[in-house]
Amino acid sequence: MSRSIFARLAALGLIFIGLCALKPQRFSKPLRFETTNHQSPINQSPDWGFFAHKRINRLAVLTLPPEMMVFFKPNIDYLTDHAVDPDMRRYASKNEAPRHYIDLDNYGAPPYPDLPRQWVDALMAHTDIWAVKASGDTVLLWRGGGLQEVWQRDYKNWFSKHLMSRFYQDDETLDADSLQNFLEFMGRKERPQAAFYREHLSEHGVLPWNLQRMQRQLTEAFRQRDSRRILKLAGDMGHYIGDAHVPLHTTSNYNGQKTEQHGIHGFWESRIPELFADESYDYFVGKPEYVERTDEWFWQSVLESNKLVDSVLTFEKRLRRTFPLDRQMCPDMRSGVMSVMPCRDFAAAYQDAMNGMVERRMRAAIHAVSSAWYTAWIDAGEPDLSKMGAPVISEEERKEEQQLRKNFEQGKILGRAEEH
């Protein structure tokens, strides 16, 4: 008779402690050993797992037309390896994490009609403007889009000019004088000594808006025929588009933490693809398609993912109740590191219960990545990529890359935790 899962976990715990003593550097992101039936003691890996992100970028390259292939194919290893750079950056910058998700449930019910689909509008609606008075007191001038309704175009122009540039430089100060017209309108006589803003959009993720912006940047890089920048942006975009296809990247219950399903994030997007993608998924997704309105299209991907959240959670919960308990979690040894993972049969049962959802979303992601790259290239006027020089990596970039890896190995995520 097989041992109970608790006995197994206890034994693994002992092995784990032993290994810790031998190789402490490998356990910067410690395993959790939970003790309740519904929680999964899974060794969390970053989103879509490194495996799936790399596959998505690699396979996207292989669908491109010859005019693009001439440049992308020789760089396929770069695009594959760097598919996970955005996850690495989450260890280096607090601004990185929100680009990987959006908690749509924070904005009411689908299809979230009040949530602005354009980046400036959304940021404007969720940004508060503060002033510092001569006395040193700080006062809230207006909250979110309050002023926007009255001033409309003027406020948007001011916002785009004065706030957006600072936002990208991670600078929360504002030019107090530039607020004067608005203050007079509000009947405030006193000139503020200083002003600053606080935005609340990033707290809940900026995934689709970030993609809109990157699409414009990639198009511009093609226009400039800047081979280095094309590669960097294409690789990064492949990552974020992959994330947009993962249901749990669109909800605040991103790791099942609100429904006692801790660990489901890695189960869905890392464990299942690692076990089954190469051996059974149909990777043939056809040619990329030109997308007329990429800004709306990124939203579609995210909203489609969001519709699947219920199934992702419900099927796992049901299966945890019905599947033999001692066959749910199995030991897994990789690179000398022992952890426990959902067992193969259990993962297969979850995959079947969702009727192949993971495969469908991965295929959709591959097709979306190649279509985004293709669309940027077309919009840039189909530049001749065969005559571009080889991308040159500067010394500065090389150092930055080393630093990224160092931060990642040290393993402290800035911003939201690693499950997302």
Euclidean distance between CA atoms 83 and 51, whole angstroms: 10
Residue placing its CB nearer to Zn ion in the complex, 269 or 379: 269
Give ∠ CA 108-110-114 in degrees, rounded to 5. 55
Q: Round to whole Å and give the CA distance between 45 and 47.
A: 7
**Looking at beta carbons only, is 248 or 343 nearer to Zn ion?**
248
| Residue (100 or 367) nearer to Zn ion, CB | 100
Q: Smallest gap, in angstroms, from Cβ of residue 240 to Zn ion?
A: 7
Q: Which residue's structure tokens are 């000139």?
A: 191
For the bound state, the minimum distance from the C-beta of residue 244 to Zn ion, rounded and expressed in Å, comes to: 10
Q: Least Å distance between CB 253 and Zn ion?
A: 17
Q: Is 75 left (phi over 0), alpha (psi -120 to 50) or beta?
A: alpha
> Among 126, 129, 120, 122, which residue's Cα sits nearest to residue 182?
129
CA atoms lying within 13 Å on the CB side of residue 357: 24
- Least CB distance to Zn ion at residue 94 (A): 15
Q: How far is the CB of 301 from Zn ion (least distance, A)?
A: 14
The nearer residue to Zn ion, 100 or 232, going by C-beta atoms, is 100
The C-alpha R_g of the chain, in whole angstroms, comes to: 24
**Which one, 100 or 416, has the nearer CB to Zn ion?**
100
Q: Minimal distance in Å, beta carbon 47 to Zn ion? A: 4
Question: In the chain, how long is the greatest CA-to-CA distance?
Answer: 81
**Which residue's CB atom is positioned nearest to Zn ion?**
100
Q: What DSSP string runs through 254-319?
A: TTSTTTT-TTHHHIIIIIHHHHHHHHH-----------S-HHHHHHHHHHHHHHTHHHHHHHHHHH
Q: Which residues bind Zn ion (CB under 5 A)?
A: 47, 100, 243
Least distance to Zn ion from the beta carbon of 56, Å?
11
Q: Which amino acid is at 302?
A: V
3-state helix/strand/coil string of 359-387: HHHHHHHHHHHHHHHHHHHHHCCCCCHHH
**CB of 179 or CB of 312, closer to Zn ion:** 312
Looking at the Cβ atoms of 9 and 102, the one nearer to Zn ion is 102
